[in-house]
Structure formats: C-alpha cells, structure tokens
Amino acid sequence: MHAKINDIQLAYTDEGNGPALVLIHGFPLCRTMWQPQVVALSAAGFRVVAPDLRGFGESEAPRSGYSMDRFADDIVELMTYLGIGRAVVGGMSMGGYVLLNLLERHSRRVAGAAFLLTRCNADDAAGKARRAELAQLVRQGKRSAVEGAFADILFAPSTSAEQPQLVDTVRSWMRKTSDAGLIGALEAMAARPDYCDRLGEFSTPALVMGGAEDRIVPQETIAPFAAALPNSSSCIIPKAGHMANLEQPQAFNTCLMDFMRLCSQAFDAPRNDSGNA
C-alpha cells in the first residue's frame, strides 16, 4: 500500500486489528524485514503497521530533505492518515534514532517505545567521518561499499554459517535501496543528537531489546540504556546478532508481544478504517 505523506509516496504494510504497533526498519533495509513480526503479532490481535522510510524500499526517494525530524514527521503523518491516534512504536537500529526523535517531539502519539537493537548516543567524530566517507562513495557510484560495511556484521557468526540464504536475502534488500536514501540517511544519522543524558525525561513505557551476539550494539549497552529510562524493561535475545528479529523470530516476537500486552491499556484499540483521523 502507498499513501501521499508530506509530498512523497510512502509505502507501508498494514495488517491486523486491535492495538497498533508501528515498526520502523533499520539502515539500509526496508519494511520487508518485519514480515515475521507482522504475521505473528497481527495473528495475536494487534494491528501492525510497517512503513518504508523515505528513500527506502518502495517509498519515493527525493533527492534531498532527509533528517531524523523528517523521518519522524512522516511516521506521525502516516499514523494520522491511517486513523491511529497513539501506537506502540518499535525502532530497530536507525529506526530507534527515529523513535527517540518521536519521543522528543511527538510523545503524545507514542503509547509505548520499543528500542530494538539500537543505542541512545550520537556518533563520535570517527563515526561521523565514516558515514561521510560512505556517503561520498555512494555519490561516486561505489554503493557496494555500504553493503560491505554492514552485511558482514549484521548477523551472529552462527547465523552466517547456518542460514546463508537469510544473509543473502538481507543483502538483496540493501541493493534495492536508492542512492538518495543511502546518502540522506547516512547524513541524518551523523547529525542526530545524543539522547543518553535525556532518557530520564521519557516516562513512556519502554522496552530495550538486544541480541546476545550483536556486534553493532553490544549486549552490555542494553542494561544501562534500560536503567536510564524511568519506566522500562529489557530482554536479550540469545544466539542473535543485529538482525535478531529474523535470526530468532520466536524469541523476539515473544518479548515484543509481552510488551504490547503490557502497554495495551494505553492504545487506541479499535481500528479506524475511515481514512484521515
């Protein structure tokens, strides 16, 4: 499905009925990564919405205008278009950065915040330089550098050995991401603020989930992240790397579903199919 959101065509999946869950994908991926969660949680009595961020998947890719503010505003406008007043929002990796922006600027729309394999800190100088280098390589037609930088560290070593088809599938999603989306998101991530010292301001019920073998967001960062949030819980997915939702979908879904049930009192439970709210 597609909707005209903030002057671009945004692609999204919308399945199920009940309390709403909005899932925001990571970089450089797309909403297809959420299929195991869409199937399981919609069958369990939840409405699951998974958009492609601008520049990714099947969404339109403008040449400019990428920022965490813009990504967050797109999510809010899509929720309004779909008649969703409040939702639990789950953000994986880059999607977690968007979620932090939502909590800062649109907290009334967030009934629960699921931080999925993500972090609260901004890039350091080396990280900003690396993102700038990758963006420049994409401009030079060397976009395979992005795939090379991310594909090999997204998975637990056991996943790479035992599920090579899954690794190949995720690589194929990366190859479909537009150049504009890659460049825009790299620059947006480099410019994002640090929220670690501000987590105490966010009283929204929160979940912080990590992968036991995540090499991008190490397991030891999860407990401090959760502890800094006033109203949070956490879980670690065993035998999983940065793509825990695909590597260990059953354990991932159980943790996320428990959080959805915990937050269910705060939702707009009835589905509104009438269009704009």
Q: How many other CB atoms are there within 10 angstroms of residue 161's CB atom?
A: 10
User: Domain count of the chain?
Assistant: 1
Q: In this predicted model, what pLDDT tens digit does every residue of 58-110 receive, in sequence order? A: 999 999 999 999 999 999 999 999 999 999 999 999 999 999 999 999 999 99
Say if 275 falls within a structural domain. no
Whether the bond between 62 and the residue before it is cis, its omega within 30 degrees of 0, is no
CATH of residue 33's domain is 3.40.50.1820
Burial class for 46, CB neighbours closer than 10 Å (0-12, 13-18, 19+): buried
Whether residue 116 lies inside any domain: the answer is yes
Report which residue type is found at 67.
S
Q: What is the dihedral of CA 99, 101, 102, 106, to 10 degrees?
A: 170
Give the model's pLDDT for residue 63. 92
Instruction: Round to whole Å and give the CA distance between 185 and 127.
Output: 14
Q: How far apart are CA 170 and CA 243, in angstroms?
A: 9
Domain containing residue 149: 2-266
Q: In degrees rounded to 5, what are phi and psi of residue 45?
A: 100, 25
d(CA 86, CA 82): 11
Whether the predicted pLDDT of 32 surpasses 60: yes
The stretch 121-147 carries a mean pLDDT of: 96
Cβ atoms of 103 and 110 closer than 8 Å: yes
Residue 149 belongs to some domain of the structure: yes
Q: Band of the pLDDT at 272, cuts 50, 70, 90?
A: very low
At 135-182, the pLDDT tens digits run 999 999 999 999 988 887 999 999 989 999 999 999 999 999 999 999
Sequence letter at residue 62: P
Distance (Å, whole) CA 106 – CA 34: 23
Q: Which two tokens stand for residue 183?
A: 């460049």
How far, in whole angstroms, is CA 263 from its chain's centroid? 19
Please report whether residue 273 resides in a domain: no
Instruction: Find, among 136, 129, 107, the residue nearest to 189 by Cα.
Output: 129
Strand stretches in 37-142, DSSP E:
47-51, 87-92, 110-116
Residue 120 lies in a domain: yes
d(C-alpha 193, C-alpha 182), whole Å: 19
Query: 37 in a domain, yes or no?
Result: yes
**pLDDT for the residue 266:** 64
Integer-rounded Cα radius of gyration of the chain: 17
pLDDT tens-digit profile of 223-264? 999 999 999 999 999 999 999 999 999 999 999 999 999 998
How sure is the predictor about 274, in pLDDT bands with cuts at 50, 70 and 90?
A: very low
Question: Contact 86/267 with Cβ under 8 angstroms?
Answer: yes
pLDDT in tens, 201-211: 999 999 999 99
Whole-angstrom Cα distance, residue 51 to residue 235? 25
What's CA 186's distance to the chain center, in Å? Answer: 15
